[in-house]
Amino acid sequence: MAAPTATAALNASVFAPGDQMLLTVTYSDADTKPLTVTIVVTDAQGNSSAPVKVTAVIDPLTVTVTDNSGRTWTRVSDNGSVAVYRSVA
Amino acid sequence: MARVTVQVRDAAGNTATATADYSLGQPVLGGYYLSGGADPTADMAGGNFRSLTQYRSFADGYIFPGYNRPWLVSLGKAGVQMNMVLELKHYGAPNSGQQSFAVDGTSYTVPAPTMTIQQRPGATWPKAYGYGQVLKGQCDGLFARALSQYRTLGFGVNIQLASELDTDHEFGTTEDGKAYTWAESDARAVQAMTYILTWFKARTLPAGTTFSVGLGGFDRACFQRTHPESLMSRLDYLQWNAYGTNASHTALARFRRTKDWAVADLGPVALSRPVIIAEWGVRSAEIPDQAAWIATVPAAIAQLNAERGPRIVRTNYFNSGWGTLTPKAVGLAALREAYAKRPYV
């Protein structure tokens, strides 16, 4: 099983007290695959239901953010490969 | 230095870790200067004033703390950050001739200043110790005297060499009867400043000593000429002054002007240095409501510091000349209010 990769970047290196800080996390894993399962039910007479789609992720990733100064980072967005977190300086 | 750590974990427990370091800038220091180098203690009392500009001539026998200025020691020991502007400019009589004195047992004789600066047509041109005199070592005694006094002060200061090189050179300079253009004067000043910095840095300095060179910052080409990387590597701060002198002048535009030039024109060493605004002010003749203009300064500084480029770390209001607060009480109240807000707190 492949290991994930991650990078973390802040929107600045020095912040004034009270400034908004934005952290961009870029992450991936070669094994992580989104997939869609499509289900169609067909009876003995050959009548089929409308297809129903279900999505799933193989080997999903969890992202954890910690801060040694005790600041709380709140997730603003996450599209599965790029997540943005926000905190206050 | 704070560090944020990101861990990404997959279903099998494999992890990847990434970190990003950051630091919090200290609040900008709100500062002051009172006309005539007078005791500013009463004006600063009770307000968030944490920085002070002072002017001394190397010709003066009393540079640190200055003649009859015990209050400077009190303020410095109370944590007010001092920006000591030390000038080759001679402030005038008495003692405009040769000086002989002893420093820590060594005798020095320093010849009379042989350069003129600020050669504005129709004005009396002030004298200054010449850049050539400095390079010949003729002014070493002045530096030795200043350093000896500085060592007894009890705290470190920023030494700003020259008040405004652009003002000094704008109309050219003359040394030993030879005239130099503005650009030539800038180049000679860079050599002389380098000499002075090398002289001081070869000796034991009080902890916390930093250096800068002084510019009004009103001329882009001069600002670039006087900030070569070789000089900036010896300096700890950038510096310029900012004044509102026209009804159309906003605080943001006035503080921004020189910063934009610096970001566009200077090298990485220069841009790594924080900025001291040794003087800022608003002239009441054109902008009668000084308080309203002063009230816009905190947001302007915060905005500039949020943008890329060097951070402004001290801003000292110049309550004299162009910046004279009229009426003083109203202006002082506005300053106190401004310095009580971000980014000053």
- Domains of chain B are 26-339 (3.20.20.80)
Using an 8 Å CB-CB cutoff, list residues of chain B that contact chain A: 2-12, 14-25, 27, 302, 305-306, 311, 342-343, 345
The region of weakest confidence among A39-48, B88-97, B205-214, B307-316 is B88-97
Q: Select from B7, B19, B305 the Cβ nearest to the Cβ of A64.
A: B7
How far A40 CA sits from the closest chain B CA (Å)? 29
Domain definitions of chain A by residue range: 5-88
**What are the residues facing A7 on neighbouring strands?**
A26
Where residue B81 falls (left for φ over 0; alpha for ψ -120 to 50; beta otherwise) is beta
Name the pLDDT band for B113 (thresholds 50, 70, 90): very high
Q: N- to C-terminal Cα distance for chain B?
A: 20
* pTM, rounded to two decimals: 0.82
Q: Average pLDDT in the B68-72 region? A: 97
pLDDT at A5: 94
How far B212 CA sits from the closest chain A CA (Å)? 22
Cα separation of B196 and B174, whole Å?
20
Close Cβ partners of B254 (under 8 Å, ≥ 6 residues apart): B242, B243, B244, B280
Q: Do B24 and A17 touch (CB under 8 A)?
A: yes
- Tell me what percent of the residues of chain B surpass a pLDDT of 90: 95
pLDDT at A32: 80
Q: Do A64 and B18 touch (CB under 8 A)?
A: no
Query: Which of A28-37, A41-50, A60-69, B182-191 has the highest mean predicted lDDT (pLDDT)?
Result: B182-191
- Compute the mean pLDDT over every residue in chain A, rounded to the nearest whole number: 91
Chain A: residue whose CA lies nearest to B19: A8
Judge contact between B294 and B331, C-beta under 8 A. Answer: yes
Q: Select from B2, B16, B343 the Cβ nearest to the Cβ of A4.
A: B16
Q: Do B305 and A89 touch (CB under 8 A)?
A: no
Q: N- to C-terminal Cα distance for chain A?
A: 38
| Residue B93 pLDDT > 80 | no
Structure tokens at A9: 């970047």
Q: Average pLDDT in the B333-339 region? A: 98
Structure tokens at B39: 């005791």
With CA atoms as reference, report the closest residue to B23 among A25, A8, A12. Answer: A12
Chain A partners within 8 Å of B20 (Cβ): 8-10, 23
Name the pLDDT band for B95 (thresholds 50, 70, 90): low
How many H-runs (helices) and E-runs (strands) does chain A carry? 0, 8
> Would you say the C-alpha torsion B134, B120, B178, B110 has a positive or negative sign?
negative
Q: Running DSSP on this structure, what letter comes out for residue B211?
A: E
The region of weakest confidence among A9-18, B46-55, B272-281, B312-321 is A9-18
Q: Do A13 and B306 touch (CB under 8 A)?
A: no
H or E, element range at B92: none
Q: Do B16 and A5 touch (CB under 8 A)?
A: yes
Chain B: residue whose CA lies nearest to A16: B25
Q: Average pLDDT in the A42-57 region? A: 91
pLDDT at A15: 84
The pLDDT tens digits for B212-238 are: 999 999 999 999 999 999 999 999 999
The region of weakest confidence among A30-44, B228-242, B270-284 is A30-44
The pLDDT tens digits for B145-162 are: 999 999 999 999 999 999
Close Cβ partners of B51 (under 8 Å, ≥ 6 residues apart): B29, B30, B31, B32, B80, B81, B82, B83, B314, B315, B316
CB atoms within 10 A of CB A48: 9
How far A42 CA sits from the closest chain B CA (Å)? 34
pLDDT at A1: 67
- Please tell me the number of Cα atoms within 13 Å of B313 on its side-chain side: 21
The pLDDT tens digits for B16-49 are: 999 999 988 889 999 999 999 999 999 999 999 9
**What are the residues facing B280 on neighbouring strands?**
B242, B317
With CA atoms as reference, report the closest residue to B88 among B120, B121, B117. Answer: B117
Q: Do B6 and A6 touch (CB under 8 A)?
A: yes
- Compute the mean pLDDT over every residue in chain B, rounded to the nearest whole number: 96
Is the ipTM higher than 0.90? The answer is no
Q: Running DSSP on this structure, what letter comes out for residue A72?
A: -
Q: Select from A15, A31, A32 the Cβ nearest to the Cβ of B25.
A: A15
Name the pLDDT band for A30 (thresholds 50, 70, 90): confident
